[in-house]
Structure 1
């Protein structure tokens, strides 16, 4: 599961860090808010991420299915990103609600993979108690995710300049689809172990 979760985290961090770097600019572009107001408003995405990380941990512990938890949240993030792009300029309340929801669904899987999943994989019985395995597995997973964190904002700059912000959102939604596809084998295995 290390490869699957590593590549999933690549795309999850790509989406998360694109928001981290570009959300204030997007809010300013798509609304009448000042740069300062846009920056303040963008912090609500991270507030949602706090709740999303907690929810991901609770669901993963409750059901014992980390891959399923990540896949469901990544799947639900797709319509939330679409809705944010479409409806964020309606009014402040809608913008706030969509930011918190999208933040939770985007950052929940990211938080789960970098913490609980890494620890779970690093202490797997197949590693026969190798104490160095935890740091190696965590480094592989988080390092792969960090590449996505670097690529996402660069792609967003390029795509927004050439095709506009809607295309950036399609790129983010496509990244979530790829993250889900990468988890398919693990999700199937978790669902087969029901009972």
Structure 2
């Protein structure tokens, strides 16, 4: 608990030093609330963050990497867990302004599946051994609300938690939104 409080204090102090940051590629609705987080202004310090859980602010559920799914759904990220276990732990890393997300459970980078069609287009999956174009994200932060948003650099879309999907697809994370709304906001926590 003390480590979390120290991290939060450092994050708030670092963001207070930022001043105004232009959010390249963000819509007008997001620029006054969210700032682009880079290596230079990261509240986590430089390089690997080495933490965290990701929680959808829209449904209050932790994001899981679905490692029991098979085929093209293997490693699907879903906002569906109440407790942080192995599948709900991720590592964030930054280089300049490019962020990667890696599942601690299978040690795979998270990809935005841009070759999928229909309702699976842009599905996030923990399945890559190296961070290439589909595994790179922009990270945005709203200090006032302590909320984060991820944006795929490959297609320029914000990551959404699909709360209207049912069954095994409920809460699927997809890079498909043009602006940050309720389904595109997340909280980061330590474990």
Structure whose residues are more often strand by fraction = 2
Which of the two has higher C-alpha Rg?
1
Q: TM-score under structure 2 normalisation?
A: 0.24
Query: Which structure ranks higher in relative contact order (CA pairs < 8 Å, sequence separation ≥ 6)?
Result: 1
Structure whose residues are more often helix by fraction = 1
